[in-house]
Structure 1
Amino acid sequence: MTEKKDWDYLLKFLIIGDTAVGKTAMLLRYTDNTFTDAFIATIGVDFKVKKLEVNGKRLKIQVVSGQEKFHTITQSYYRGSHAVIVVYDCTDKKTFESTKNWLAETEAEIAGNAVRLLVGNKCDMPKQVSTEEGQSFANCQHVHFMEVSAKTNTNIAEAFNYLINEVVKKLEGSSKQSSGKANVNIKESKKTKSKCFLF
């Protein structure tokens, strides 16, 4: 007998980017609401699950964060991903420059209807990359852009809610988009645990 699922949609989100940009910090802040200043390199991938209710639908969201040294492992997680967050460190220009390659890779590896988001983490610290630079590059790449801070919990929930909103709209069909943006009511489950040369 098949066990009854406790969700209506199972979503897979992938967080990628250079080392030390705060991928795991974002993952833990979103799923567990925890943060530590100590940096420990991820060995392989970090994996967390969060349950939410959206428009009466129960979602089970698998969030995976990968280390680029284990690229072949991370690549396998591209398959079936509903959304990908490409992260750079606002205080490190080189990590921003790397996002061009990360975004190119996502375009090649993920399904065409997957949602992509460019994120500048550590926006609470003195920046080497301005908000305008990040936004301009995102516009060129035709992806949404946000600045966040896992440390201060700035825009972390908003970033994931944007992805959930977009993915759910796709899953629910195009009818909700015909009259503009769909209003998606997101609440945490009680059971939870082009060519652009800017640089």
Structure 2
Amino acid sequence: MYFQNKLITMGDKKVKLQIWDTAGQERFRSVTTSYYRDADALLLVYDIANRASFENCRNWLSQIQEYGKEAVQVTLVGNKCDLPRAVPADEGKRLAEAYSIPFMETSAKTGQNVDRAFLGLAERMLKLKYGFVPGGEMADTISIGEGKKPEYARCCSFY
């Protein structure tokens, strides 16, 4: 399991993201369900080159609905868009539409849309908390940096 903090500044607001990456491994399923309870937002990432990874998304989405907060913000992300695909983008879009959540594709290898995935989530969290995104729809002042380790576990913090 991989853990990292990121601090995103949008306008005059800061969003601290606490990122937990379980790589979809079954052995972390009991741990992840406990984090759903406290999570304000989740990126559900599947491998577009691995159909089984995509097929498992419905199970993860069901668990998120069962254990997560009522207003948890979820984005479905198809990763590895730099590789030959086993899952067409349209299938990812349809699954996201079925759950009324945003969808996007990324490549961790090339960096394509990775920042955008986190920024989009931060924007949604700011809209939920404040009713707007400071600095406009896509804030003019945006920076992503390392955050300090929090004293308590939370997904997102606002300043």
**Pair in the same fold by TM > 0.5:** yes
Inter-partner Cα distance in structure 1 for 2:144 and 2:2: 22
Q: Which residue in the other structure is 1:48 paired with?
A: 4
Pair 1:155-2:110 in alignment: no
For residues 29-74 of structure 1, the C-alpha deviation after alignment (integer angstroms, 9 at most, x for no partner) is: xxxxxxxxxxxxxxxx321011222220222221111243122222
Q: Which residue in the other structure is 1:60 paired with?
A: 16
Going from structure 1 to structure 2, the CA distance change for 1:72 and 1:52 (only over 3 Å counts) comes to same
Pair 1:123-2:77 in alignment: no
Q: Which runs of 5+ in 1 are unaligned?
A: 1-44, 194-199
TM-score (norm 1): 0.66
Inter-partner Cα distance in structure 2 for 1:52 and 1:144: 20
What does 1:99-118 correspond to in 2, within 5 Å? 99-118=57-76
Could you tell me whether the CA contact under 8 Å between 1:50 and 1:192 is conserved in 2? yes
Inter-partner Cα distance in structure 2 for 1:115 and 1:129: 23
Going from structure 1 to structure 2, the CA distance change for 1:73 and 1:190 (only over 3 Å counts) comes to closer
Between 1:94-103 and 1:51-60, the stretch displaced more is: 51-60
Going from structure 1 to structure 2, the CA distance change for 1:190 and 1:148 (only over 3 Å counts) comes to closer
Aligned-residue offset at 1:149: 0.6
Which structure has the greater CA radius of gyration? 1
> Counterpart of 1:98 in structure 2: which amino acid?
N
Q: Which residue in the other structure is 1:187 paired with?
A: 142
Inter-partner Cα distance in structure 2 for 1:190 and 1:146: 22
Inter-partner Cα distance in structure 1 for 2:146 and 2:83: 35
Query: Tell me, what secondary structure is at the counterpart of 1:183?
Result: coil
Query: Tell me, what secondary structure is at the counterpart of 1:133?
Result: helix
What does 1:1-199 correspond to in 2, within 5 Å? 45-66=1-22, 67-172=25-130, 174=131, 176=132, 183-185=137-139, 187-188=142-143
Aligned-residue offset at 1:143: 1.1
Going from structure 1 to structure 2, the CA distance change for 1:56 and 1:125 (only over 3 Å counts) comes to same
Going from structure 1 to structure 2, the CA distance change for 1:59 and 1:93 (only over 3 Å counts) comes to same
Could you tell me whether the CA contact under 8 Å between 1:114 and 1:167 is conserved in 2? no
- The aligned length equals 143
Aligned-residue offset at 1:192: 5.4
Larger RCO (CA within 8 A; separation ≥ 6): 2
Query: Tell me, what secondary structure is at the counterpart of 1:91?
Result: coil
Aligned-residue offset at 1:80: 1.6
Could you tell me whether the CA contact under 8 Å between 1:90 and 1:123 is conserved in 2? yes
Inter-partner Cα distance in structure 2 for 1:155 and 1:124: 12
Aligned-residue offset at 1:188: 1.7
TM-score (norm 2): 0.81
Q: Which runs of at least 4 in structure 1 moved beyond 4 Å after TM superposition?
A: 189-193
